[in-house]
Amino acid sequence: MARAGQIARRTFLVGSVAIAGGAAFGVWKLTRPVENPLRPVEGVSLNPFLIIDASGVTLVVGRAEMGQGAQTTLAALLAEELDLAWEAVRLIHGPASAAYHNAALAEMGLPFADYAMTDMQHRLAGAAGTVSRVFGLQITGGSTSIRDGYDSLRLAGASAREALKSVAADRLGVPVADLRTEAGAVLAPDGRRLDYAALAEAAARRPAPQVEPRSPAEWRLLGRSLPRPDMQAKATGAAIYGVDIRLPGMKFATVRMSPRLGGTMRGFDPAPALAMPGVERVIDLRTGIAVVARNTWTAIRAAEAVTIDWGPAPYPETTEAIFARIAEAFDGRRNSRLRNDGDIEEALEGAESVLEVEYRLPFLAHATMEPMTATARFTGDALELWTPNQTPLVQARLAAEAVGLDPDQVTVHTPFLGGGFGRRLEADYSALAARVAREMPDVPVQVTWSREEDMTHDFYRPGVIARMRGVVSAGRATALEARIAAPSVTRQAVVRMTGLPAFGPDTGHVEGAFDQPYAIPNYRVEGYLADLDIPLGFWRSVGHSHNGFIHESFVDELAHAAGRDPMEFRLEAIRPESEIAANVLDQVARMSDWFGERPAGTGRGVAFVWSFGTPVAQVIEVVDEDGRIRIARAWIACDVGRALDPGIVQAQMESGLIFGLSAAVRGEITFADGEVQERNFDDYDALRISAVPRIETRILQVQARLGGVGEPGTPPAAPALANAIFDLTGQRLRTLPLARHVDFVS
């Protein structure tokens, strides 16, 4: 595949992207037409996905590439229907436009358990998805990129193919049924050939044919591991990330904001910075400063030199005070009770023994490898942004508000993201870049945060307290009650991204607990929202990330209380609810030889979480090495319904596991004097290569619906590891990070 974005010859504008002049095709099935963002100088355009010109075919996708491989598979969905040679396909990110709205994401807030959804509920979820168009939810997140694009992009490709064949049939005097497509051309039975470029303009004038996409039996590209177009550029250093943007006359800047979350700035002295060679300006941002210099490193050093008088923090000043506020939520009104099977009160009151425990999980940062960065150019009546992001329309709206423009006066370019994990759903860094650029009209300014600013001003995964009660009888769980308290991520994020308040039961708060396929006769899950204003954001796998640990650790405790093998205990509880889930557990048991002999000095733990449409089971093996614990091996089984690119599915499952293990072992954000204490990788570390286990992954394709892959590998990792440590040491760990309690081999 040609390098993404490398396009020449005659051009027209596709929103914010220069594309060679030609025609765009596709089908978009909505109740009302979505405005087409393609604005050709030459040629015509039908919809946002496909451009054909004299130099070939360009596939336009509306989802960001942040290492997850989504753009590769999205492009393959189109290319499959167009009979394109994969190496000839060009790929770019589309502009900020509601035409790229994410319908699948809007479905996720509904209070249904994935594994038990009926056809009627799926139809209701599909109807809810149209809301994303109204609110302009052009979002890369929620493991939805492929699930959202699976139908629409195949239909776009199929429609374009048939439109091209229709024109070719007229020109060649051959029935459409006798024509075929191959390698970017329409071929007649006698060997005559017409390239797509010669047919595109005429085909674009015709009504888009309504045609069903091909069946999987006919696929050439989908279902196999494809070469990713971004990988060669990344391996050779040619890939353009946000920090790599270079424009004529560019200046470089950084910001420094109050280290006390929500704190104010009383005043500052810029003199020490202005005295440094290469420093050009110190800008008052009211809540902090920006320093403009000849390069980023000089700007960061100068920002550190500025003397600033910071005001107090409005939030609780210490970690202990924050968790005391979270605990107070249990005394207030519950927000949700999304599962309430049987009679939990009667089951608990009538039990001879009740297992009652509490779990606590810390706040977590995203810690993307590329810190927050954005480049902005303000001209007075327009703003242009080059910003690695997961939400182009949100970036445009909030950046516009920051400088007094309308969103349609903002152009957003989306380069590669150096990690996202949910952090780049936010637009704070783009808005700050816009404010700095407004102070320097007509000059492009790249604003890059230091690692310390990035860590101090993240939107964190919330701290959580869960109070659990359970009963076992005759070797089975007969009651499980989960009460989960934390501040709400969803309520904060929805307001920031849409400007509208969120209300009602917060599904994300209790996901990973209320929606798991366990047949426990008395089963209740309640959510309690803590009143805290600490900035919170979506973190890879969101509520499943903490509730997966809570729920699967407690299930393990119930298994041991019942005197049962943890795998057998789960299988007996899960199989009546979901044979698909049980099959995943069966597979991971076979892969790990769970029921076989284990060497001395080893422990194994299992965990199962169904999230983002995909059931995932993991087994972790730990080994005692002279009193230190090594995470030695890991096995993953998942059922994604259809593996459109097995290599990408495997990579995402394994990266999700490692991400979850890193957080479980060392991840923790703490507070003192209103300030975040962990400010760089020396005190907020990830697993190094030497500490990563050897991983085996098995991808199943049994369930009927397409599951997500970007996040489901994360939730089972922490509980599987904690359960393995219990198996090895007998020590039950109910708080994270685990390195507080265990000495790990690094």
CATH topology match: 11-102+138-219 vs 242-313+372-448: yes
Whether the pLDDT of residue 168 is over 50: the answer is yes
Token pair 């919170």: residue: 536
pLDDT digits (tens, 9 = 90+) for 550-608: 999 999 999 999 999 999 999 999 999 999 999 999 999 999 999 999 999 999 999 99
pLDDT recorded at residue 38: 52
Whether the pLDDT of residue 745 is over 70: the answer is yes
Mean pLDDT across the chain: 92
The H or E element that residue 39 is part of is: strand 38-39
CB 583 within 8 A of CB 608: no
Round the CA-based radius of gyration of the chain to a whole number and report it: 27
CB 537 within 8 A of CB 422: yes
Whether the pLDDT of residue 198 is over 60: the answer is yes
pLDDT recorded at residue 53: 80
CB 608 within 8 A of CB 615: yes
CATH of 11-102+138-219, one of 3.30.365.10, 3.30.479.30, 3.40.50.720, 3.40.50.150: 3.30.365.10
What's the predicted TM-score (pTM) here?
Answer: 0.94
pLDDT recorded at residue 9: 29
pLDDT digits (tens, 9 = 90+) for 73-122: 999 999 999 999 888 888 889 899 888 889 888 777 788 899 998 888 88
pLDDT recorded at residue 37: 65
User: Is beta strand 522-529 parallel, antiparallel or unpaired with respect to 476-486?
Assistant: parallel
Residues 106 and 703: their CA atoms lie apart, in Å, by 22
CB 676 within 8 A of CB 669: yes
Range in 17-31, 404-418, 474-488 with the lowest mean pLDDT = 17-31
The H or E element that residue 726 is part of is: helix 717-729
CATH of 242-313+372-448, one of 3.40.50.460, 3.30.365.10, 3.40.50.11400, 3.40.50.150: 3.30.365.10
Contacts of 741 by beta carbon, 8 Å cutoff, 6+ apart: 731, 733, 735
pLDDT recorded at residue 19: 34
DSSP for 56-108, written as a single string: EEEEEESS--SSS-HHHHHHHHHHHHHT--GGG-EEEE--S-GGG--HHHHHT
Whether the pLDDT of residue 450 is over 90: the answer is yes
DSSP for 94-114, written as a single string: --S-GGG--HHHHHTTSS--G
Whether the pLDDT of residue 63 is over 60: the answer is yes
Q: Which of these, 687, 572, 569, lies nearest to 634 by C-alpha position?
A: 687
Residues in the chain: 746
Q: Where are the domains of the chain?
A: 11-102+138-219, 242-313+372-448, 319-364+460-740
Contacts of 545 by beta carbon, 8 Å cutoff, 6+ apart: 461, 512, 539, 660, 663, 714, 715, 718
Whether the pLDDT of residue 132 is over 90: the answer is no
CB 438 within 8 A of CB 403: yes
The two tokens of residue 472 are: 């076992």
| Phi, psi dihedrals of residue 424, rounded to the nearest 5° | -90, 15
pLDDT recorded at residue 23: 53
pLDDT digits (tens, 9 = 90+) for 517-543: 999 999 999 999 999 989 999 999 999
Whether the pLDDT of residue 11 is over 50: the answer is no
pLDDT digits (tens, 9 = 90+) for 677-697: 999 999 999 999 999 999 999
pLDDT recorded at residue 502: 82
Note the CATH number of domain 319-364+460-740: 3.30.365.10
Sheet containing 336-341: give its strands across. Answer: 336-341, 522-529, 476-486, 464-473, 355-361
Beta bridge partners of 186: 181, 194
pLDDT digits (tens, 9 = 90+) for 349-393: 999 999 999 999 999 999 999 999 999 999 999 999 999 999 999
CB 566 within 8 A of CB 684: no
pLDDT digits (tens, 9 = 90+) for 200-219: 888 888 888 889 999 999 99
Q: How confident is the model at residue 29 (pLDDT cuts 50, 70, 90)?
A: very low
CB 389 within 8 A of CB 412: yes
Q: How confident is the model at residue 36 (pLDDT cuts 50, 70, 90)?
A: low
Whether the pLDDT of residue 628 is over 90: the answer is yes
CB 212 within 8 A of CB 634: no
pLDDT recorded at residue 20: 35
Q: What string of H, E and C letters represents the secondary structure of 331-367?
A: HCCCCEEEEEECCHHHHHHCCCCCEEEEEEECEECCC
Q: What is the mean pLDDT of residues 422-428?
A: 98
Residues 441 and 148: their CA atoms lie apart, in Å, by 39
Whether the pLDDT of residue 44 is over 60: the answer is no
pLDDT digits (tens, 9 = 90+) for 271-322: 999 999 999 999 999 999 999 999 999 999 999 999 999 998 887 789 999 9
Whether the pLDDT of residue 12 is over 60: the answer is no
